[in-house]
Structure 1
């Protein structure tokens, strides 16, 4: 079994070396390391070039994180693919633990929780929870998968059904699309023991930022619409994501109706009418208001 580590980078030169080194330092398995630079304007490309043949560079114009996922996957040859943001890094032993999981279990994906402790260590025993939410998702429900990009790994047979993924501005389509699609396509496992360090800093584009609250509805809408378009069985869940995003966006009546009209146009042919979208948005707003009054 061959591993591929797909590092996506945009203007994170100051963190990039620690990221790459965290993989090289435990690469006794011979994983290929693909570093996708998404049109950086800092010293990122010089850092990448300094590693010579130890990494496979992919230099591309700026196109957003989804385009970096697509480019990294296209350049990869591994059976198991591990995602890694350039400002994060893998804890010692992660590669071997992930390889063991895919060898011992018939799973399509494995997501591990992250830690914000830079000196974190992986214990001898790790906790693993099997997850199969395929029927729940077909019925319109959601899986709970609280793992960011750097904790995501996929078997190639699953990721090849997901990528290339649609492109979107900023971080509107990223790990949520990957996680939900994978959970719909195959059973997997959640590693409850952190195997990855997630760096929180002033340049985070989403995590731990003030922008997260305003971006969340956009992410919900874009993710739901594109998942429903791509996978026939995710129509109900996709509509629920879209209407939940509209309901949570705190738009006035005119803007809410305009957003519903936009979605109805983009979802033409999927049975998402202006009327049924409006009904779901109203229901979700009423439910949200009731929960707020009850303090829940």
Structure 2
């Protein structure tokens, strides 16, 4: 069984070598590394060139993360495809252990949780939960899939039903669409024990940044629209995501105004006003989504 690791990169030159090296040092016997550079303007392309034929490099104009997924998939020849952000890395032994999970189980996808502690060693044992929420998704429910891009892997034939995907700037349409689509199309597994290191830093496009607060409703709306457009069985989920994104956007605008009026004249700046509004909006959205879960 051949594996393909699809690394997407945009101006992450400072993290690129640890990322690529974490894959090249894997002990699995048959895999390829494909790095898609999405129009970087730093030293990324010089770093990629230094690896020669050890990796397959796809150079393209900047088009966003979704376009990088599409380009990597088009170049891949593996039976199992892994996604990896260029600022993250795989723990030693990940490829072999995930491949074994595919061998032992009739699954179409496998998501492994991540650690944000770079010093974490590979786990001695894995906790694997088989996951089949296809009926829940058809009813418009929201199964929990709390795994970022770098923890995702798929059988090639499943991902061929998802990619190529529509493109959008930045990360507005990216891994959430892929995760929900995969869970709708097939049976999977979640590895509860981290096999991937996710790096949290000042240049993150979403995770751990203040931008996440304003990006989240845009992601929900874009993801919901695309899922409903692409899959007949996901109309209910798509509508729920769009409604949630609109509700959160509306709540943020209204609550920000209300909060500003409440704290006017006090020792609070815009950051405090925004944070209070976001906390209230998240609570309202969480209550709404829980009512739609199964």
TM-score range, shorter chain: 0.7 to 0.9
Could you tell me how far apart the structure 2 residues matched to 1:122 and 1:101 are? Answer: 16
Does the CA-based 8 Å contact 1:122-1:193 persist in structure 2? no
Per the alignment, residue 140 of structure 1 pairs with 140
Shift of 1:119: 1.4
Question: Residue 218 of structure 1 aligns to a residue in which SS?
Answer: helix
Shift of 1:123: 2.0
1:92-122 deviation line (CA, Å, top 9, x unaligned): 0101101101111110100000001101122
Per the alignment, residue 192 of structure 2 pairs with 192
Does the CA-based 8 Å contact 1:4-1:78 persist in structure 2? yes
Could you tell me how far apart the structure 1 residues matched to 2:102 and 2:153 are? Answer: 10
Aligned length: 260
Per the alignment, residue 205 of structure 2 pairs with 205
Aligned residues: CA RMSD: 1.7
Q: Structure 1 residue 169 and structure 2 residue 165: aligned? A: no
Quickly say closer, same or farther: Cα 1:244–1:291, change in 2 above 3 A. closer
Per the alignment, residue 29 of structure 2 pairs with 29
Query: TM-score w.r.t. structure 2 length?
Result: 0.86
Q: Trace 1:174-185 onto structure 2 (pairs within 5 A).
A: 174-185=174-185
Instruction: Give unmatched runs, 5+ long, in structure 1.
Output: 254-284
Could you tell me how far apart the structure 1 residues matched to 2:253 and 2:215 are? Answer: 17
Shift of 1:157: 1.1
Does the CA-based 8 Å contact 1:115-1:197 persist in structure 2? yes
Q: Structure 1 residue 5 and structure 2 residue 5: aligned? A: yes
Shift of 1:124: 2.3
Could you tell me how far apart the structure 2 residues matched to 1:3 and 1:180 are? Answer: 22
Quickly say closer, same or farther: Cα 1:42–1:145, change in 2 above 3 A. same
Question: Residue 172 of structure 2 aligns to a residue in which SS?
Answer: coil
Runs of 4+ more than 2 Å apart: 250-253, 287-292
Could you tell me how far apart the structure 1 residues matched to 2:87 and 2:286 are? Answer: 40
Quickly say closer, same or farther: Cα 1:290–1:182, change in 2 above 3 A. closer
Shift of 1:291: 5.6
